[in-house]
Every structure is written in C-alpha cells, then in structure tokens.
C-alpha cells in the first residue's frame, strides 16, 4: 500500500518511548511528525526526533498531555491533518476523538461513538452477553452504595473484585475475600477511580481462582466490516493488576483454543463497531479452560511489540494505513504466527519496597543487544525520571524459535541491561525468568503474590558501570541535545503574543 495517499503531517499526543516509536513509523512512511512536550520533557528524545515540537507549558498531565484544547490547537497551528494518541493519556477519550473530528483532524483510533461504548466495561459486558460471549457473574448496573455491594457479593460468593467501569491499567480495582473487605475496599476503589479517570462508577464481578489473562490483538476497517486478528498474548504475570511480563503466543493456548478465543474477540469487535487497532481481553479459567470476556482496550497496547515480533506486522504503520484509507492492508490468511516473543516492562520502581516508584537522574544506561533482542525506550543517560508520569523506563523484548529460547535470550539481555542512578525492576524480572514454574509456562495471574521472588542481583558487576558513569560528564550530551531541541521546537501562536521564532520561551 505504498501508493496510498498518507497524511501529510501527524501530531503525536504522547511522550516517551511510545512517542519515539510512532515518530519512527512516520519517518519510514515519509510522513511529517510533530511532537508535544511538557516542561520536564523538554530535552527528551521525542521532542528532538520529530520534525517539529511544541511546548505545552506545564508539568502535570492535566495541564499538558491531557489538555485537549492545547493539543488540538498545537495540531492546527503546525499544519497537521491527523493525531496519533499512543496509549494512556487521551488514547481512549471519546471527547478527544470527537474534538479531532470537529476540528478536521483524523483521530488515529476508533471514532467517539465506539469509544463511548468500549470505554464502559459494564456496557461491553452486556453487549458481549447479548452476542453469546461468556462473562463471569457481575453487577449489570453500577453500585449505588456499599450495602448493595455486600449483598451482591454474598449472592455470587467470595472472592470478588470491585472494579471501576471506566479506565484501565489496574486502577480502581480491589479484591475482597469477605464482607468486611468489601466494606474496607469500596471507598478506596471509588477514590482511585475518581482520581484516575474522573469517574467513579463501581461494579462487582466474581474473581476466578488462578486464571490466565489472555488478550487478542485485532485490527478493523473504518466500517467494522473487516476484522482481522493477530493472535493472542499472555499477560498473566502482573502485580496489583498491572502487567509486568507479556508474551505471544501463550504457552497454554493450542490451535483449537486459539480459534475459539479469536472468534469471540472478532464477534465483540463487530458488535461495538470497532475500527483501527485494539485488544479484546479475556480470563481463562485454569480448571475448565473456559474463556470469559473482560474488556476492550481501544488503543495500541504497551505490549504490542510482542505481536509485531511473531507476526512481522508493524502495528503502528497499520494503524496509520487504516486511518489514511479506511482499509486493513492485509487479510486474515496473510497473518502467520512464528516463534515466540516475550516482553519485560522495565519500570522505575523498587521491588524490595512493594514496587514503590523511584525518581531521579539516570547516570548511565547500557542497552543490551544480540539476536532476537529489541528495546523500546526513550531513556538516555542524564535524563531524569520525574514523578509526574508513568514509571515505565523501557520495554525489553526477546524472540526465539520457541518459549524456552526466547526466555534464555531475555535472561542474557537482562544481565546486560544496566540503568545506574535509579532503582528499576530489572533484578525482579531476572528472578521471574529464572523461576522454575515460569520456565515451564505454568503460571497465572496470582504468580507474583503467591511466589516468593527475591530480586536477583547475582553476576551484576555494578561497580564497573558506576565507575563508567562517573567518568561521563553529566552535561556532556545536554548542550547538543538542547540545541537540537531548540532548532525543532517553538512556542505556538495561541500560547503567546510573540508569534514566530522557534523556542522563544527559553527552556
């Protein structure tokens, strides 16, 4: 589809590694790119790699990457005809998708009508049921108070999950094993949901015992007539309902199960009139092998590279191609799954302190390589991990002919991956991959909480890297990067009376 009339210029309404990933895809397609950045992100790579960048002025997400008016105006002011939201922030916002449409900008994702439905977990469950897709027992309406929550929990039996009807990323989810815990957790789930998503609609669903978390990557054309799946991913290794390790294919999914779960995903995608790329998520009962629909993630997933590695399909490019021409650039028969890919989310967190977020300057960074290794990151030595945004530092992926080869390659890469200056989850990932249960593919969503994993720091000669870091001047790179950023960024007219002139706000 190289002869397709692509967009002339696309604004990336995001930051960090996903913004860099999208910019690279745009460059290969010869499409102009515009980045936006907050004050703390002024010298981050996405601001300098794009053809142009606009300062959103501010630090907090609400005043920068979540400000619809600022982003729309930045796109119009820089002559863009489309916006890619990445993941997180405004990626699943029906208001943002509608604002793009109203301002003559193509939103590279689902239309607002679809996002209104897919963004409501309760509504999606009702639709799934109506199409014959299995779901676990749940409250079909939002709960009005904690007494109603305790009554329903007693009816379906403990344990249960209290969940926000909106949002994702594990936010607003609490487990309750008895009535007392329902009462304790109801208010905290409500508060977190309101804080994270601005809404606090809470419902309850039955919690399965030791299930697998299996999701299906789908892409759909603009009319939802053609829906293609790209196989499944296993995201069962998680803590506090947030994913740590993902892989494709799943060690427990055979061809018969794959046909079933992918057909269920396509049924749901058509039912909500889905378009562009998205993910349909399921739980697999470990005892029966039955699948139960959970939710739709109406955006690119953090873990999308594992699917790219086993299918050879560039999902970001596919998103842009669908948004440009309305059609999927391949058929279902073109999709072939080969080998196995595993991803570790390297977060700036201290696993010894219950995964507390860590901040600070990355003094030194050693990126691993070798056959089958892929690293997605925007981090560089000298950059600061701020408290304003998600703790994701990098995504480390490996590919092998099978699960075991991919696991061994990933372990070697984890040994080589060094981030000096802040605590990361690298030692914890080493412990996961060395665990015998994990190596056999015998794990589920309770793996982290029931397995005594001690962060593995063996064989890491940290002194070598610390000395290397000290020999580097922290400011050695910053002058050049700042200059490059200044050459590509400017203060937009709608934020200042000083029109024209690049980087006139003097960051």
105 closest CA partner among 46, 38, 34: 34
Question: What is the pLDDT confidence band of residue 501, given thresholds at 50, 70 and 90?
Answer: very low
Q: Taking residues 179-198, what's their average pLDDT? A: 76
pLDDT of residue 240: 84
Is residue 180 over pLDDT 50?
Answer: yes
93-152 pLDDT, tens digit per residue, is: 999 999 999 999 999 999 999 999 998 989 999 999 999 999 999 998 888 789 999 999
Q: Taking residues 160-170, what's their average pLDDT? A: 77
Weakest-pLDDT range from 82-96, 198-212, 450-464: 450-464
Strands 489-490 and 52-55, by their bridges, are parallel
| HEC string for 166-210 | CCCCCCCCEEECCHHHHHHHHHHHHHHHHHHHCCCCEEEEECCCC
Is residue 390 over pLDDT 80?
Answer: yes
Instruction: Tell me: do 355 and 289 sit in the same domain.
Output: no
Helix (H, G, I), strand (E, B) or coil at 270: helix
Give the integer Cα–Cα distance in Å for 163 and 173. 5
Instruction: Tell me: do 228 and 311 sit in the same domain.
Output: yes
Instruction: Tell me: do 286 and 344 sit in the same domain.
Output: no
Longest dimension (CA), the chain: 66
Question: What is the DSSP-derived secondary structure letter of residue 502?
Answer: B
pLDDT of residue 196: 59
Q: Let me know if residue 100 belongs to a domain.
A: yes
Q: Which residues contact 273 (CB under 8 A, 6 or more apart)?
A: 113, 114, 224
Q: Let me know if residue 131 belongs to a domain.
A: no
Omega before residue 40 within 30° of 0, cis? no
Is residue 490 over pLDDT 70?
Answer: no
Q: Let me know if residue 417 belongs to a domain.
A: yes
Instruction: Tell me: do 237 and 176 sit in the same domain.
Output: no
Give the integer Cα–Cα distance in Å for 309 and 337. 9
What's 195's domain CATH number? 3.30.1490.20
pLDDT of residue 159: 93
**Mean pLDDT in the chain?**
89
Instruction: Tell me: do 166 and 276 sit in the same domain.
Output: no
Instruction: Tell me: do 217 and 315 sit in the same domain.
Output: yes
Among 303, 338, 373, the domain boundary falls at 338
Residue 259: CB atoms within 10 Å = 12
Q: Taking residues 18-38, what's their average pLDDT? A: 98
Is residue 467 over pLDDT 70?
Answer: no
What's 480's domain CATH number? 3.40.50.20
Instruction: Tell me: do 22 and 40 sit in the same domain.
Output: yes
Question: What is the pLDDT confidence band of residue 498, given thresholds at 50, 70 and 90?
Answer: very low
pLDDT of residue 170: 62
431-459 pLDDT, tens digit per residue, is: 999 999 999 999 999 999 999 898 887 65
Q: Let me know if residue 11 belongs to a domain.
A: yes
Question: What is the pLDDT confidence band of residue 202, given thresholds at 50, 70 and 90?
Answer: confident
Q: What pTM, to 2 d.p., does this model score?
A: 0.88
Instruction: Tell me: do 408 and 431 sit in the same domain.
Output: yes
pLDDT of residue 410: 98
pLDDT of residue 488: 56
Q: Is 9 a catalytic residue?
A: no
Q: Higher confidence at residue 212 or residue 198?
A: 212
Q: Let me know if residue 444 belongs to a domain.
A: yes
Contact 16, 376 (CB under 8 A): no
Instruction: Tell me: do 321 and 272 sit in the same domain.
Output: yes
Q: Which of 174, 239, 299, 374 is catalytic?
A: 299
Domain count, the chain: 4
Residue 264: CB atoms within 10 Å = 21
Contact 191, 230 (CB under 8 A): no
246-285 pLDDT, tens digit per residue, is: 999 999 999 999 999 999 999 999 999 999 999 999 999 9
Is residue 475 over pLDDT 90?
Answer: no
Give the integer Cα–Cα distance in Å for 123 and 318. 28
Among 338, 361, 388, the domain boundary falls at 338
Give the integer Cα–Cα distance in Å for 470 and 480. 20
Among 206, 237, 255, the domain boundary falls at 206
Q: Taking residues 287-313, what's their average pLDDT? A: 97
Domain range holding 48?
1-108+473-507
| DSSP H helices in 221-327 | 255-271, 304-311, 315-325
Instruction: Tell me: do 334 and 214 sit in the same domain.
Output: yes
Question: What is the pLDDT confidence band of residue 500, given thresholds at 50, 70 and 90?
Answer: very low
Is residue 358 over pLDDT 80?
Answer: yes
Q: Let me know if residue 132 belongs to a domain.
A: no
Residues of the chain with pLDDT > 90, as a percent, come to 76
What's 311's domain CATH number? 3.30.470.20
Q: Let me know if residue 124 belongs to a domain.
A: no
Q: Taking residues 291-308, what's their average pLDDT? A: 97
Instruction: Tell me: do 375 and 401 sit in the same domain.
Output: yes
Is residue 499 over pLDDT 60?
Answer: no
pLDDT of residue 493: 45
Is residue 506 over pLDDT 70?
Answer: no
Instruction: Tell me: do 269 and 360 sit in the same domain.
Output: no
pLDDT of residue 198: 57
Q: Let me know if residue 115 belongs to a domain.
A: no
């Amino acid at each position: 589809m190289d002869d397709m009339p692509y967009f002339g210029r696309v604004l990336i309404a995001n930051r960090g590694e996903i913004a860099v990933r999208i910019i690279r895809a745009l460059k290969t397609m010869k499409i102009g790119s515009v980045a936006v950045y907050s004050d703390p992100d002024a010298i981050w790579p996405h601001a300098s790699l794009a053809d142009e960048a606009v300062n959103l002025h501010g630090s907090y997400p609400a005043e920068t990457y979540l400000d619809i008016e600022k982003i729309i105006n930045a796109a119009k002011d820089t002559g863009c005809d489309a916006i890619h939201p990445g993941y997180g922030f405004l990626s699943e916002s029906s208001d943002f998708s509608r604002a793009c449409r109203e301002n003559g900008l193509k939103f590279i994702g689902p239309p607002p009508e679809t996002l209104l439905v897919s963004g409501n977990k309760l509504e999606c469950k009702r639709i799934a049921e109506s199409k014959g897709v299995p779901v676990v027992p749940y409250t079909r309406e939002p709960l009005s108070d904690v007494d109603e929550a305790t009554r329903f929990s007693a009816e379906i039996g403990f344990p249960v999950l209290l969940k926000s009807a909106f949002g994702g990323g594990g936010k607003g989810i609490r487990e309750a094993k008895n009535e007392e815990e329902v009462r304790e957790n109801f208010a905290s789930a409500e508060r977190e949901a309101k804080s994270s998503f601005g809404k606090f609609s809470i419902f309850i669903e039955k919690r399965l015992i030791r299930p697998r978390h299996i999701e299906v990557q789908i892409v759909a054309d603009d009319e939802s007539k053609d829906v293609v799946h790209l196989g499944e991913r296993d995201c069962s290794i998680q803590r506090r309902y947030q994913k740590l390790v993902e892989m494709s294919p799943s060690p427990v999914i055979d061809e018969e199960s794959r046909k079933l779960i992918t057909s269920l995903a396509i049924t749901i995608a058509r039912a909500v009139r889905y378009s562009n790329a998205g993910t349909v998520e399921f739980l697999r009962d470990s005892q029966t092998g039955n699948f139960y629909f959970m939710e739709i993630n109406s955006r690119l997933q953090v873990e999308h590279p594992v699917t790219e590695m086993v299918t050879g399909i560039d999902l970001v490019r596919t998103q842009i191609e669908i948004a440009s021409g309305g059609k999927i650039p391949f058929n279902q028969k073109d999709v072939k799954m080969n080998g196995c890919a595993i991803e570790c989310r390297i977060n700036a967190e201290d696993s010894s302190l219950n995964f507390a977020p860590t901040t600070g300057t990355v003094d030194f960074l050693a990126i691993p390589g070798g056959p089958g290794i892929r690293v997605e990151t925007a981090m560089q030595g000298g950059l600061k991990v701020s408290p304003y945004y998600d703790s994701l530092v990098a995504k480390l992926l490996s590919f092998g002919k099978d699960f075991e080869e991919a696991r061994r390659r990933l372990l070697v890469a984890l040994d080589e991956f060094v981030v000096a200056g802040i605590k990361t989850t690298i030692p914890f990932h080493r412990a996961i991959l060395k665990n015998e249960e994990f190596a056999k593919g015998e794990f589920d969503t309770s793996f982290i909480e029931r397995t005594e994993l001690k962060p593995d720091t063996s064989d890491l000669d940290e002194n070598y890297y610390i000395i290397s870091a000290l020999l580097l001047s922290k400011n050695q790179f910053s002058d050049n990067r700042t200059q490059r950023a200044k050459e590509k960024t400017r203060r937009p007219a709608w934020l200042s009376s000083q029109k024209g002139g690049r980087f006139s706000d003097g960051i």
